Chain A
Amino acid sequence: MDYRFTVEQEAFRKEFADWLAKQIPKGFDPSKRNYYDDDEWKAAYQKFQKSLFEGGYAAMHYEKEYGGQGKTMMEQVIVQQTIATTCGELSMPGGITMGMALPTIHSCCTEAQKREHIPKILDGTYIWCQGFSEPNAGSDVANCATRAVRKNGDYIIDGQKTWTSFAHMADWCILLVRTDPSVAKHKGLSYLLVNMKTPGIEVRPMVQLTEEAEFNEVFFDNVKVPVENRVGEEGQGWMIAITTLMFERTIGDAIMGPMYERNYKRLVDLAKSTLREGKPVIENPVIRQQLAQAYIETMVLKYHGLRNLSKTLKGGIPGPEGSIGKLLWSEPNQRITENALNMQGLNSQVMRGSPWTIQDGNWQYSYLRAKGNTIEAGSSEIQRNIIGERCLLLPKDSSREARRK
């Protein structure tokens, strides 16, 4: 057992960090949110991703023929960790692109599809979104009702997706559609790659409780998608959706720890600089206990991520036990951001833009945003169902089973 990275890996981390420091745009402040305008944010992402690609740091673990660097997952993890802790905001619009679309295309697509899409993702040209959720397919993703009917060489798509992050910035979409309504619901799904410029697609931003629009509704009206844009066989959509989610979780797990470590430092700064009855709140014993718990949960996230990563490097694909990772970052984030607000007393109500704002209102935003963490990407309840049924092999809910048959 050894938690140390090798000398070569540490040297690579330093080399990359030095290089990265030079790429960060002038005036960018990693302790603040820098982009409130979507066009500016998208452009900043594209520029940043392009520089990674040209610098030879995009997709370290992918083959060179697709624009990767032909190295191992470890180098990729180091790159991702370093970005996440120095300028994570710059890579965020590419979250779905890199975390969901790219690994799906890389592991499930045909040679032609890979050659068409991977380089354009890696050089920052295209942003992707993910069309899975629907008004009646939230936690029950397989209840997908968006129809795709085959006509000549195309699928004709009609329906609606919702909660589609970054759809308003996206050029392409990984889309889950129903191609066969006559079979059991998990079996009638297919997986398509859809150009968002195709006629008949309408994107309507949805304002969330943070007062911003990060999500969208996406409407499909008679949208024509060539059959060769399908991933895998017709009816394999569900399996492709599930497998690819498992794959990329490892990298996600490995970067969450360092991100929360950085957040912990901010939380400590806050506790030292915020006064309660004229004294720094860090002197308060209750606050101290909360800080400690935040650090402990951060350590759990970090070392659980490394344990999963280690398993993956040995050739295993993380199984359903990977579902734990989602719970380990989403639920603590709600506690940590709430602690941060509690430290501020009444000032915790003040958002960005007042002389009484603390740390640029970031904690206020994070507190509200964290409420979505236990819902998005598979709610905590769904994660616990997966763990219960697929890790612990507990029997399925009989009423749910009956409906399925």
Chain B
Amino acid sequence: MDINLNEDQVEMMRQARRFCENETPMTFVREMFEDERGFTDDLWNKMVEMGWTAMLIPEQYGGLGMQMTDLMLVLMEHGRAVVPSPLFSTVLLGAEAIIAAGSDAQKEKYLTAIAEGSMRGTLALHEPGSGANPGYIQMEARKDGDGFILSGTKLFVTDAHAADFIVCPARTKAGIDPADGITLFIVDAKAPGVAISQLPVIDRTRKLCAIEFKNVKVGKDGILGEANKGWSPLCKVIRKACVGLAAECIGAAEKAMEIAIEYAKVRVQFDQPIGSFQAIKHRCAQMYVEVESGRSLLYYAAWAQDNTDEQEAAIAASAAKVLCTETGKNVAGSAIQVLGGIGFSWEHEIHFYLKRTKASELAFGDTLYHREQVVSLTT
């Protein structure tokens, strides 16, 4: 047992932090918040150069064959800086779906391109009426020759506007049991009948889209994995996405905490720095408790994805998703309170931390959903 980071990992974190300081300062984040596309080609190319699109992709497809714990370290840094980019959607949604369910030919085509940075992808999961339950998939795929025709609406699709391909789960057999009747499809984002529009969401550092599918034809080569058995690989994707969001939230919480503490040391009221008052001190201490204990669970959850059985990986991912996204949201909210009026202003950057972490809490299963996962897997 050794839970310390090794030298390579510490160096990787250091590089990621330097990258974010140089390439995505708050001025850039603000610009991208308002920007329709939400990132620049220059930023994307530099991320590709860092090797971040290739980290989890197996070496035989041009990737680096690294583990979730490695990507976690990079994503924690991205969370600290609220980095706007389609990296999360491409590597943890698009690429992971292909890794989890793809044929050799599909892997060759998509993973190689993602690793070298020439292709981006995402996952169209949530539907109207699903609440925050990712297992509620009712969109229909009709058989059409040896392919299918997709029709319906998907919501809250991360970075669909910037994606070249969209992995779309749909029902190929009627029913409500996700384990029976869901098939995954790879849809070209520019295919006829695909209409993508951005939603005016609270956190516009990460763009979410609605997608209307109107009689979209998917050929045989667009069927991803076994027909009707798409839920199992999809769960794998959701698990890692949850760990990724948890990592971002711990990074975001850590930075929000630092902002609050720094302020509490210099802001003087009643002739004293406000951090000397226990009402503020204990609030800050609680932030530290949540950040450090969240980090402890996060590390395990990331490790579990590559090193334990499916059930343990699922429990750990759900537990980390609940704990770390709540930590992110709580710490950011608490930081606003410490900052007082300035924390409520548009001018201060703290609101970006609240918005990102709240969005993360809701994505890919909210806390109600993931607590239910934990209890059903442990009783």
Contact = CB atoms under 8 A, between A and B. Distances in A.
Interface string A79-104: 00000000000000000000000000
A394 B265 contact: yes
Contacts of B296: 300, 303-304, 306-307
Interface stretch (A285-293, A336-344, A347-355): A285-293
B269 interface: no
B8 to A, nearest CB: 11
A300 B3 contact: no
A403 interface: no
Given A1-B299, A3-B303, A395 B273 contact: yes
A361 B250 CA distance: 40
A395 B372 CA distance: 42
A341 B93 CA distance: 42
A394 B323 contact: no
Contacts of A289: 368, 371-372, 375
Contact of A2 (B1, B285, B294, B378): B1
Interface string B288-317: 110011101101100110010000000110
Interface string B245-275: 0000000000000000100110000001101
A33 interface: no
B346 interface: no
A328 B374 contact: no
B288 A389 contact: no
Given A272-B379, A299-B297, A397 B319 contact: no
A292 B1 contact: no
B1 A4 contact: yes
A271 interface: yes
Contact of A292 (B276, B280, B285, B371): B371
A291 B285 contact: no
A300 B293 contact: yes
B1 A392 contact: no
Given A381-B278, A397-B276, A306 B372 contact: no
A324 B293 contact: yes
Contact of A299 (B3, B6, B319, B379): B319
Contact of A3 (B1, B275, B378): B1
A396 B276 CA distance: 5
A324 B288 contact: yes
B69 to A, nearest CB: 5
B218 to A, nearest CB: 37
Candidate in A295, A296, A300, A397 with the most chain B CB atoms within 10 angstroms: A296
Contact of B375 (A288, A385, A387): A288
Contact of B323 (A272, A288, A296, A310): A296
A289 B318 CA distance: 13
Contacts of A264: 378
Given A282-B379, A289-B372, A394-B261, A1 B319 contact: no
A384 interface: yes
A289 B375 CA distance: 7
B42 interface: no
Interface in A298-325: 299-300, 303-304, 306-307, 309-311, 313-314, 321, 324
A268 interface: yes
Interface string B311-352: 000011001001100000000000000000000000000000
A291 B375 contact: yes
A395 B265 contact: yes
B275 A388 contact: yes
A393 B375 CA distance: 39
Contact of B282 (A296, A304, A381): A381
Nearest to B295: A307
B276 A3 contact: no
Interface in B2-29: 2-6, 9
Given A291-B379, A328-B289, A392-B285, A296 B299 contact: no
Interface of B: 1-6, 9, 69, 261, 264-265, 272-273, 275-278, 280-282, 284-286, 288-289, 292-294, 296-297, 299-300, 303-304, 307, 315-316, 319, 322-323, 368, 370-375, 378-379
Given A306-B300, A392-B261, A394-B275, 11 more contacts: A74-B1, A296-B322, A296-B374, A307-B296, A381-B282, A384-B278, A385-B282, A394-B273, A394-B276, A397-B276, A397-B281
Across the A-B interface, give the 6 residue pairs with the lowest CB-CB distance, nearest first: A292-B371, A388-B281, A304-B296, A384-B285, A394-B275, A387-B285
